[in-house]
């Protein structure tokens, strides 16, 4: 990653901390905020009004759409799509104050994060409740509330989210062929499910 901001394209209204590291070809749009020590991989786009918390790590060629909120210590792999207004949480027991009424500070809670693996896509207005992992090439439907891990190629939807099928790298639901085999209707690629785990044949 390059440390200099001139390696990236940053819209003047965006707020990018000087201690953030932006890779080459990163684009940061209007009113986005990138906090200290965040790392953004080459070729990634950060949409209007998006927030990237301190120390968040985002891989290469990702797309964060408008108003996505990526709180620390979230980690996104390469090629991850984050839809508009998606939220990654980081507190399992949120409170503004301690039991004695004092305002909670940095030492009064433990941050937990969401890990999103390469190629996954998180649909608009989804909420991913940490701590969870979202598998490679999986797809979270718009508006879902994800409270448990999503397997590679998993298609999840609902509140709370449940797996309703499988998708391939193209994001298209796979067709069942029987005997645990599936096919992508767009590419023809074949997959096999074994004990709840899907893998290419």
| Number of domains into which the chain is organized | 2
Q: Is 154 in the same domain as 191? A: no
Residue 181's domain spans which residues?
170-201
The SS3 of residue 161 is coil
Q: Is 174 in the same domain as 103? A: no
pLDDT category, 6, cuts 50, 70, 90?
low
pLDDT category, 7, cuts 50, 70, 90?
confident
Which has more pLDDT, 1 or 79? Answer: 79
d(CA 170, CA 60): 18
- Give all strands of the β-sheet with 190-194 in edge-to-edge order: 175-178, 181-183, 190-194, 197-200
pLDDT digits (tens, 9 = 90+) for 34-64: 999 999 999 999 999 999 999 999 999 999 9
Q: Is 141 in the same domain as 198? A: no
Q: Is 153 in the same domain as 174? A: no
pLDDT higher than threshold 90 for residue 151 = yes
Rg of the chain on CA atoms, in Å? 18
Mean pLDDT computed over 88-117: 94
Q: Is 30 in the same domain as 61? A: yes
pLDDT digits (tens, 9 = 90+) for 103-126: 999 888 899 999 999 999 999 999
Asked whether the CA dihedral 15, 18, 19, 23 is positive or negative, the reply is positive
CATH of residue 160's domain is 2.160.10.10
Give percent of the chain above pLDDT 90: 95
Q: Is 180 in the same domain as 101? A: no
């Amino acid at each position: 990653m390059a440390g200099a901001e001139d390696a990236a394209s940053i819209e003047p209204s965006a707020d990018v901390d000087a201690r953030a590291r932006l890779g080459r070809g990163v684009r940061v749009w209007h009113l986005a905020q990138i906090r200290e020590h965040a790392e953004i991989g080459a070729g990634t786009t950060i949409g209007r009004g998006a927030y990237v918390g301190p120390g968040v790590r985002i891989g290469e060629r990702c797309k964060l759409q408008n108003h996505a909120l990526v709180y620390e210590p979230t980690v996104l792999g390469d090629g991850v799509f984050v839809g508009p207004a998606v939220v990654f949480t980081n507190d399992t027991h949120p409170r503004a104050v301690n039991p004695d009424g004092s305002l909670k500070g940095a030492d009064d809670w433990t941050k937990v994060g969401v890990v999103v693996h390469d190629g996954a896509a998180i649909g608009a207005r989804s909420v991913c409740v940490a701590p969870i992992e979202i598998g490679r090439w999986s797809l979270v439907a718009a508006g879902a509330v994800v409270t448990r891990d999503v397997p590679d190629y998993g298609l999840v939807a609902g509140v709370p989210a449940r797996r309703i099928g499988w998708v391939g790298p193209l994001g298209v639901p796979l067709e069942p062929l029987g005997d645990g085999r599936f096919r992508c209707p767009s590419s023809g690629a074949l997959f096999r499910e074994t004990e709840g785990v899907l893998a290419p044949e």
